[in-house]
């Protein structure tokens, strides 16, 4: 079994490399558009430079590496940047997927594609895999278009939708709800956190495990991978402060309309994960367990 990972420098990509390299009988190929951030950590893992927006590069790398499975994590995920730079968003989130779908079908590679709760309107949640998509921002539109390309593939595929991923990674510039709250409060900064949006936050290690289960079982179809705790970001922030013993009075409870952001956010999403539990054996951490794990990884 040979698994090629796109976006190996990202949060999920790094967790996947770490997890898959430990699996017996699995050969890992890490790919990313930038230089390999994991070279010092995992010198045993093969790395190949790959810009997934280049059809020629995608074809060449898959022909050269001949993976049995591909897990596609690379994407443009900054929601406001996607709204402001729609051409770049479409190229990275849709055009790239078209290249991968074609190459995977040609080489008979099982494709696991990462998607998002932002394909939904936010009018109701938690949601099952059969809920009707209706995105409210361009990022969501791009990810839904990508899903439809995957679903139309003649090859084998699985779509892993997820929600508000959090965790820590090596030399990773992006932040997330847990790390942002912890670091802000440690620095004595006051923060505004919304209390009128609901999500089922996802520990990056759990998402990596879910993707591995999908690949290992060559699963077919759409699966929701998150936790099953529906929380507001404000509630999450309070829990982070409690765990790390930080000053909760620095956390101001606000509504989403407090912020002027280019892209709308869905108000209420979150997932039901019964399908992944029953069919894959997926067992995510609780949010409290996820915070505690981060606590052991960083000081």
Q: Would you place residue 173 in the very low, low, confident or very high pLDDT band (cuts 50, 70, 90)?
A: confident
Beta carbons of 292 and 168 less than 8 angstroms apart? no
pLDDT, tens digit, 9 for 90 and up, residues 103-113: 999 999 999 99
- Say if 295 falls within a structural domain: no
245 burial type by CB count under 10 A (0-12 exposed, 13-18 middle, 19+ buried): exposed
Number of domains in the chain: 1
Mean pLDDT of all residues in 128-142: 98
Range of lowest pLDDT (25-29, 188-192, 256-260, 275-279): 256-260
CB–CB of 128/112 below 8 Å?
no
CA distance 84 to 74: 19
In a domain, 162, yes or no: yes
pLDDT tens digits for range 21-80: 999 999 999 999 989 999 999 999 999 999 999 999 999 999 999 999 999 999 999 999
pLDDT at 174: 83
Residues in the chain: 299
Percent of the chain surpassing pLDDT 90: 97
Domain-embedded: residue 259: no
* Residue-range definition of the domain harbouring residue 131: 2-168+202-228+270-285
196: left (phi over 0), alpha (psi -120 to 50) or beta: alpha
233: pLDDT strictly greater than 90: yes
Q: Residue 105's domain is classified under what CATH number? A: 3.40.50.720
Q: Is residue 180 part of a domain?
A: no
Share of the chain above pLDDT 70, in %: 100
Q: How far apart are CA 166 and CA 181, in angstroms?
A: 11
List of E strands, the chain:
2-6, 27-32, 46-49, 69-72, 110-116, 157-162, 165-166, 191-194, 202-203, 221-224, 251-254
Q: Is residue 191 part of a domain?
A: no
Alpha-carbon separation of residue 122 from 56, 76, 86, 136, 264 (angstroms): 38, 21, 21, 8, 10
Q: Is residue 150 part of a domain?
A: yes
14 is a domain residue: yes
3-state secondary structure of 252: strand
Residue 299's pLDDT is what?
Answer: 61
Sole residue written with tokens 């779908």: 101
pLDDT(283) > 70: yes
- Residue 102 covered by a domain: yes
| pLDDT value for 172 | 84
């Amino acid at each position: 079994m040979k698994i090629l990972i796109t976006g190996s420098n990202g949060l999920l990509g790094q967790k996947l490399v770490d997890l898959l390299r430990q699996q017996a009988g699995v050969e890992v190929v890490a790919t990313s558009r930038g230089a390999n951030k994991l070279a010092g950590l995992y010198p045993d893992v093969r790395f190949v430079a790959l810009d997934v927006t280049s059809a020629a590069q995608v074809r060449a790398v898959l022909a050269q590496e001949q993976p049995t499975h591909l897990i596609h994590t690379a994407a443009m995920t900054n929601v406001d940047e996607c709204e402001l730079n729609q051409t770049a968003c479409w190229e990275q989130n849709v055009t790239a997927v078209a290249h991968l779908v074609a190459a995977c079908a040609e080489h008979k590679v099982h494709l696991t594609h990462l998607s998002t709760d932002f394909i939904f309107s936010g009018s109701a949640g938690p949601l099952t895999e059969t809920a009707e998509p209706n995105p409210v921002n361009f990022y969501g539109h791009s990810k839904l278009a990508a899903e439809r390309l995957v679903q139309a593939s003649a090859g084998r595929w699985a779509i892993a939708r997820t929600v508000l991923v959090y965790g820590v990674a090596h030399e990773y510039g992006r932040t997330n709800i847990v790390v942002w709250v912890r670091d802000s409060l440690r620095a004595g900064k006051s923060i505004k956190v919304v209390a009128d949006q609901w999500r089922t936050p996802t520990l990056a290690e759990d998402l990596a495990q879910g993707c591995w289960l999908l690949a290992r079982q060559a699963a077919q179809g759409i699966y929701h991978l998150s936790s099953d705790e529906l929380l507001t970001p404000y509630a999450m922030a309070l829990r982070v402060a409690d765990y790390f013993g930080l000053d909760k009075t620095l956390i101001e409870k606000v509504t989403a309309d407090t912020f002027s952001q280019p892209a709308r956010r869905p108000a209420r999403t979150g997932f039901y994960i019964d399908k992944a539990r029953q069919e894959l054996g997926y067992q995510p951490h609780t949010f409290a367990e996820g915070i505690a794990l981060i606590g052991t990884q960083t000081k």
